[in-house]
Amino acid sequence: MIPYARQSISEQDIEAVNQVLRSDFLTQGALIAQFETAVSSYCHAEYAVAVSHGTAALHLACLALDVGVGDRVWTSPNSFVASSNCALYCGAEINFVDIDPKTYNISLNSLKQKLIQAEVDNCLPKVLIPVHFSGQSCDMKEIKELSKHYGFAIIEDAAHALGAEFLSEKVGSCLYSDLTIFSFHPAKMITCGEGGMILTNRPELAHKMELFRSHGVTRNPGLMTEKSHGDWYYQQTLLGFNYRMTDFQAALGLSQLKRLDDFVNKRQNLAQRYNKKLSVLSKLLSLPWQNSDTQSSWHLYIIRLNLKSLTVDRKTVFDHLRQSGIGVHVHYIPIHTQPYYQDLGFKQGDFPESESYYNEAITLPLFVDLEEEQVDFITQTVEKLLLKFSKQGDI
C-alpha cells in the first residue's frame, strides 16, 4: 500500500541522533536551544520554544495568552481535534467558524459575520486559532486587521505549514499573529518522532511558555521570590507541565530542517504533477485551489469529488482506491461532529460548508519520497474509477 504520508530519514539524520545517544545529555542539553534558534531564524521570528508535541505547543500558546475559564476561543472545524481541545484544556469555551469552500481554511466572510454578531451579544473571542490547512496559509493580513478591530489574540496553527509562505514571508514569522505553532509528527513537514514548537516575537510570552514547559519551575534567581538556598535550589512559581523535548529529538529536527526547502520543492513538484494529470477530470473533481498570496508547503494533496456528476459516494471511491493499493485518507472529520463535541452542544448542520467538504474530500498520497511513477499510477487509477462512476454526459 502506498501510504498517504511518510517521513524521509537520511543517513545524516541517523548519525545526528546517534551522536546525541553517545553524549552526556539525552535531554536538556545544548541541542534544544540550537533547534529553537534554527527554526526561529528560518521563519524570521524572535523567539522559539520547543516542546514534546504540537498539541503541547497549542496548550502552552493558550496558557501564555492567559486563556482560562470564562474565555472564548474560536477555530475552524476542518482540523485535527488538537486545534480546539487546547482551549478546553484551559477551561475556556470553544466555538467554530465555518470554512471557505475553495481553500478549506477559515472563511473570512463567516468570521466577519460571526464577529459582528458576537459584538452585539457581548461574547467576542479572546483568541482565534486560524489553521493553515494542508499547508496553505490563511489570509493573515485580513485576520490581523479584524483582530485589531475586535481585540482578540491570534495563534496560528501551522502544524501543516512549516516552509510555507504568506505574502513572501515564511509562516511562523508571527508578523500577523501573537504566536505560531508547528508539529513535528512524522506525517508533518519535518519530524522529531514527536515534537512541537511555538514561535513568537513577544518575549514575555516566550518566557512564560518556558516556565510552563517544565513544571513552572525556575532556576533563574531573577525570577525567584526569595534568595537562593544554594546550588540545588529551584522554585515553582506557577502550575506547569512536563512538555519538554529530548535532545535526540532536537538533533533529528535540526538535521531534518536542513532539508526542509528541498522537501517543500519536492512536494510542490509532485502536487503540480497531480494537478496536470488530474486536470482532465475537472468536471468530476476539484483540484486544490491556491491563493496567489500564498506558497503552500503541500503537507496534503486533496481532491474534492463533484458528487452530482458521480453515481457513487465518496466512501465507494475511497474503498476502491484502498483496494488498488493506494493509501488514501480523509482530512478532516469536522471537529464539531465528534461525539465529545456533540455532548458540548454542537450538532450536525452547524457548519454546513465543513460538512459538505467532508463528504467529498479524499487525501491522495503525498510525501517527499513518493515517486513520479507512483503519482502516475495513482492518477490513472483515479481517472479510470471516476470515468466508470461518472453519470452519462458528465465527462
CB of 267 to ligand PLP, least distance (A): 15
Judged by beta carbon, residue 7 or residue 379, the one nearer ligand PLP is 7
Contact residues toward ligand PLP (CB under 6 A) are 53-55, 79-80, 82-83, 131, 157, 159-160, 183, 185, 196
Smallest distance from ligand PLP to CB 223, Å = 28
Question: CA–CA separation, 62 vs 212, rounded Å?
Answer: 11
Query: Which of 31, 131 has the CB closer to ligand PLP?
Result: 131
Q: How far is CA 370 from the centre of its chain?
A: 21
AA letter at 53: H
For the four alpha carbons of 27, 33, 34 and 39, in that order, the dihedral sign comes to positive
Nearest residue to ligand PLP on Cβ basis: 54
- Cβ of residue 55: shortest distance to ligand PLP, in angstroms? 3
Q: How remote is the C-alpha of 338 from its chain's centroid? A: 19
From the list 353, 387, 359, the residue with the least C-alpha distance to 281 is 387
End-to-end CA distance of the chain: 29
Pick 55 or 246: Cβ nearer ligand PLP: 55
Look at the block and give the residue holding cell 521563519: 43
Shortest distance in whole angstroms from residue 254 CB to ligand PLP = 17
Nearest CA to 107 out of 81, 75, 135, 84 is that of 75
Smallest distance, ligand PLP to C-beta of residue 239, A = 21
Q: Which set of grid coordinates corresponds to residue 288?
A: 486544490
d(CA 134, CA 287): 13
Could you give the CA distance from residue 244 to residue 51 in angstroms, rounded to a whole number? 5
Minimum separation from the CB atom of position 83 to ligand PLP (A)? 5
Q: Which is nearer to ligand PLP, 42 or 80 (CB)?
A: 80
CB of 12 to ligand PLP, least distance (A): 23
d(CA 181, CA 103): 20
Q: Which is nearer to ligand PLP, 298 or 390 (CB)?
A: 298
User: In the complex with ligand PLP, which residue's Cβ is closer, 125 or 135?
Assistant: 135
- What distance in Å separates the CA atoms of residue 301 and residue 361, rounded to the nearest whole number? 10
83 versus 297: smaller Cβ distance to ligand PLP? 83
Closer CB to ligand PLP, 196 or 334, in the complex:
196
CB of 162 to ligand PLP, least distance (A): 11
DSSP per-residue string spanning 176-211: TSSEEEEE--TTSSS--SS-EEEEES-HHHHHHHHH
Least distance between ligand PLP and beta carbon 185 (Å): 4
Of 270, 289, 306, 291, the closest CA to residue 378 belongs to 270
Q: How many CB atoms lie within 10 A of CB 212?
A: 22
Cis peptide before 233 (omega within 30 of 0): no
Question: CB-wise, 42 or 184, nearer to ligand PLP?
Answer: 184
